[in-house]
Amino acid sequence: MLARAFAVFDSGRPRPVHIELPLDVITAEADHVRRAVVPTSSRPAPDPAKIVEAAQLLRQAKRPLVVLGGGAQHAGASARAVIEKIGALAATTINGKGILPPDHPLSLGSTLPQPPVLEELTHADVVLAVGTELGETDTLLFDSRLRLGGKVIRVDIDPEQLTRNVLAEVAILSDS
């Protein structure tokens, strides 16, 4: 049960895992339980063809915009390198706050739900969304849908997120 819980916890979008044990199990003898360390699963690596496709879209973009969510928290240095290379403005969700330093010249901060940033998303010709659900809690658009003007590239560890809320031109199943 513990191995299964850690597999769920470590293989997809990191989230809490709940294990409920009855009191008689907690106090029972456990000499028969295997004590070997169970190997963890690896996170999915991106499809190289999808990376090429995304790179081509970003290379052709005249007005790219990057949205970084909580799933990109551990990829700060890589995110900064990509943003600087393509010269894109970048906004973070509340969960992505801190990925970019507040004084970074291309950072819009964690202002995704702000009307000027939402408006900028409608004018971007390519939106690179990394580790974000682009959901209601990210945009605070509870009465309407997020409108994006251009093509969307999504990178997410959770395959369900690649088709939820905003459809992508290029969907990359991968850790950020």
Q: What pLDDT is attached to residue 11?
A: 66
pLDDT at 5: 76
Name all domains of the chain by residue range, CATH numbers in brackets. Answer: 48-173 (3.40.50.1220)
* 80-107 average pLDDT score: 93
List pLDDT tens digits, range 38-83: 776 677 789 999 999 999 999 999 999 999 999 999 898 999 999 9
Q: Which residue has the higher pLDDT, 56 or 37?
A: 56
User: What pLDDT is stored for residue 146 in this prediction?
Assistant: 85
Closest to 159 in 3D by CA, of 24, 50, 74: 50
Exposure class string for 26-41: b at 16+ Cβ within 10 A, else e: eeeeeeeeeeeeeeee
pLDDT, tens digit, 9 for 90 and up, residues 125-140: 999 999 998 888 888 7
Q: How is the beta sheet containing 151-156 ordered, strand by strand?
A: 89-92, 64-68, 126-130, 151-156, 170-173
Among 20-24, 41-45, 91-95, 157-161, which stretch is predicted with the lowest mean pLDDT? Answer: 41-45
pLDDT of 158: 87
Per-residue pLDDT of 139-153, as tens digits, reads: 877 777 788 889 999
